Structure 1
Amino acid sequence: MVAARTVTSTVRVLESLPALLRDDHRVTVVFAYDPTSAFGAGVLDVLRETGCRVMPWEQLADITPDLILSASENVDLPEGDCPVLILPHGVGFQKLVPDSRGPRERLSGVVPDALLESGRAWLAISHPSQEEQLLATHPKAAGRTLLVGDPCFDELTASRAMRAAYREALGVAEGQRLVMVSSTWGPTSLLGTQPDLPARLLAQLPYDNYKVGAIVHPNVWSAHGAWQLRALQASALDAGLMLMPAVHAWRPALVAADVLVGDHGSVSLYGASCGTPLLLAAFGADAVPDTAAHTMAALAPRLDPHGNLREQIEDALREHTPERYAEVSTRAFDEPGHALARLRTALYHLLRLDLPTGCDRAEGEGPERRLEPDLLGRPGAQQHADDQHGRHERGTASPASTYSRIS
């Protein structure tokens, strides 16, 4: 059973699960939607569009699954004996977030102590340092981690071979540069602090030489809605901003980028680890110290929002070296290329099933997964035009105050 709570966590499971269970007729998967998250809008749409079988959350106590799988650590699971495997919905434990169960902040990605104490929970991690981090902050997680690596990072790396196809799908002409703006969610994010940055980039970068896209965290889409987000970025969309669809498009868009303007979100970590030139436009205090995110922050140049944006973009491209963020990748991802096989081995172990015949084991090399260009969908500039943006009512809230409510 897959517990789906937010778009981010639901999509993270959907990215890997088909490959993990490919051609295995012994396993039946059902999804259950936990409607308690403030960022749950869109989850049912994703599940239905994907063709998933969805059961009411209230009926969860009436079934006896062999395994509960989720990429949301905050699901309110019923009591039972079956194991619970929690996948990360980003890179490691890099961020402090408000705790929906109380007034304090918590470490994103860690399940409640009660579930750890039950002995049912297993946390998939991408690097041994994350286990050390958990032992220091959450001693009850001792012995409850599974080192699998990061299937998403492996897929991004393998997909570099498809980069030209992604750029063609985005309409990036030969000789043009693609600047991708990435924002996590919350008041300290790029859009939370500089909501007009995409529009200002488009105003300063020559139209014939540059294209600008934006990858916005699904929590922003869920909290605002697609219409509101497009209204808040109307000027940028009018100028040609390609707003990536919320679900799968960010991955090929990131591979296609020539330079990334980001913040402390996981997309920046993935981009830097893949060797993409990076400019940090924001880095919030909610980023956890002594993690790969802080290593990235120490190495990446900062964007001066009041300076010449074109010069800073060109400087980042000119001064970048392929090995600049090697330490970030080394600290975030263990043995790249093996994650899917390791995760499959862990999954079948928890299901108490033998691996399917002929299946690649964790110690072997599995086939590389590459992202298809059609995941890019319809970039937001075209969607914006189709929505007749001239009729949008802007309301009274400024973009900065609206983004800052996402916390």
Structure 2
Amino acid sequence: MHKMWVKGPVGADATYRVTRRACRNVLVMVPTMTAGARLMDLVPLLDGDHRVQTVFTVPHADEAWQYTAEFVSARGGLSLPWNQARQHTWDLVLAASHRHIEQVRGKLLILPHGAGNLMSRRYSRKARGATRPTTGLDAELLVYRGRVLPAVIALTHERELHALRRSCPEALPTAVIAGDICLDRMSASAPYRKQYRAALGIGDNDRLVTISSTWSASSTFGCHPDLYNRLLGEGGVVAAAVLHPMIWAVHGVWQVRSWLAPAIARGLRVIRPDAGWQATMIASDHVIGDHGSTTSYAAAIGRTVSLAAYPEHDIHKGSIADRLARHSPRLDMSKPIVPQLRGGVGRRNDMAKVISSRPGRAASILRTCMYRLLGLPEPSWRPSLCPVPLPSPLWI
């Protein structure tokens, strides 16, 4: 049964129950696990500030994607019911999705939930039966009843500014080129590669191949569900599976485990959908993937990459996925897999520059934006990026 109202730190009578008074109130919108995972890169920039109170909400929790509420709960976030969150005016709202942002009141900062704001897919799954070209910076996403919704749109690259100028010029004053905080965090975590491998049970002489899949029928898992078992059946490698959270949300944990059962029996490490994919990419020696963001992030931190699936007809030319595909070998599924895992995009590549034009600066730029919207001076300490957490496979 859903809570109707939470006696938390906001509301008309909150002053009588809070321990810290006069805090600026921040709302973190988590409509999907994917958006929540990206926001967990951002929210720690407020750590240590006793002037700020952060709460979470799962919009329309009664019909939200599966496991989203559990994602927030597992992180200890105080979660307000959606109807309650909509009643309050917030000092800052953080979002990594356009879902329901027109329904909240407060200064909104929005950033992409994947690699870049410009979607690699040519057609939106929601745009008129997937027949109309779209990007992640369209006016229909950013403007509601003539009002630009975000106070800050966090862009990752200059080319996104050019795209915004074409697609929604009225939003240009809100744009800030901030870089990519997820990539920065992964890069800063590279020195912990040995610890991440140990957490996965990978020895010094083991070769870890991670199979990454976005969701949809054109993804790695959608096209080649037998790839995991085939790879392990050939021997000579240890394998991990990183599946997009939407796969878990739509099909359920039981079904995903059932589908992967033969490979799990051979030692497949199945990474949790809510955490661990970043560390697994750092720990990997080779990544087999598709047009999803996780594959591009793997290439950007220097992992060698091969593509098992790639919907060429549905990818924007010049997009991040397109740039990756130009330099990544395609697996031939009629031949053994392991001998094909040679070369590909590796340590000498420009994928990091394709994803972000502000390398290493996202934390600093985004924190400055957050405190400007909060109307507070920034803390005296420098913003830092904590290492990504150790991976914790569901099954080994």
The equivalent residue for 1:392 is none
Matched, 1:132 2:162: yes
* SS at 2:103 equivalent: coil
Deviation at 1:87, TM superposition (A): 1.5
Tell me, in whole angstroms, the C-alpha distance in 1 between the residues paired with 2:255 and 2:73.
23
2:50 counterpart letter in structure 1 = H
Matched-pair contact (CA < 8 Å) for 2:137–2:168 = no
The RMSD of aligned alpha carbons is 2.2
The equivalent residue for 1:369 is 386
Matched-pair contact (CA < 8 Å) for 2:211–2:288 = yes
The equivalent residue for 1:264 is 291
The equivalent residue for 2:202 is 172
> In the superposition, relative to structure 1, how do residues 234 and 39 fare at CA in structure 2: closer, same or farther (>3 Å)?
farther
Tell me, in whole angstroms, the C-alpha distance in 1 between the residues paired with 2:213 and 2:64.
16
* SS at 1:90 equivalent: coil
1:244 counterpart letter in structure 2 = I
Matched, 1:6 2:32: yes
* Counterpart mapping for 1:328-343 below 5 A: 328-343=351-366
> In the superposition, relative to structure 1, how do residues 37 and 158 fare at CA in structure 2: closer, same or farther (>3 Å)?
farther
Per-residue CA distance 1:51-92 (angstroms, 9 max, x = gap): 111111112332111121111112253264x22111210011
Per-residue CA distance 1:261-319 (angstroms, 9 max, x = gap): 00011111111111110001111244332122211110111111112212101x23xx7
* SS at 2:325 equivalent: helix
2:264 corresponds to which of 212, 229, 237: 237
Matched-pair contact (CA < 8 Å) for 1:116–1:141 = no
2:70 counterpart letter in structure 1 = D
Tell me, in whole angstroms, the C-alpha distance in 2 between the residues paired with 1:60 and 1:117.
23
Deviation at 1:143, TM superposition (A): 2.7
Number of aligned residue pairs: 363
Matched, 1:17 2:55: no
The equivalent residue for 1:28 is 53
* SS at 2:331 equivalent: coil
The equivalent residue for 1:85 is 109
Mark the runs of 5 or more structure 1 residues left unpaired by the alignment.
361-365, 383-407
TM norm structure 1: 0.83
* Counterpart mapping for 1:5-404 below 5 A: 5-18=31-44, 20-35=45-60, 40-78=65-103, 80=105, 82-92=106-116, 93-96=118-121, 98=124, 100=126, 103-104=129-130, 106-108=134-136, 112-115=141-144, 117-121=146-150, 122-206=152-236, 210-284=237-311, 285-313=313-341, 315-316=342-343, 322-323=347-348, 325-326=349-350, 328-356=351-379, 358-360=380-382, 366-373=383-390, 376-377=391-392, 379-382=393-396
Matched-pair contact (CA < 8 Å) for 2:32–2:65 = yes
Deviation at 1:176, TM superposition (A): 1.1
Tell me, in whole angstroms, the C-alpha distance in 1 between the residues paired with 2:114 and 2:286.
21
Matched-pair contact (CA < 8 Å) for 1:134–1:141 = yes
Deviation at 1:138, TM superposition (A): 3.7
TM norm structure 2: 0.86
* SS at 1:142 equivalent: helix
Tell me, in whole angstroms, the C-alpha distance in 2 between the residues paired with 1:79 and 1:256.
39
Matched-pair contact (CA < 8 Å) for 1:39–1:223 = no
Deviation at 1:372, TM superposition (A): 3.5
* SS at 2:209 equivalent: strand
Q: Percent identity?
A: 30
Deviation at 1:115, TM superposition (A): 3.6
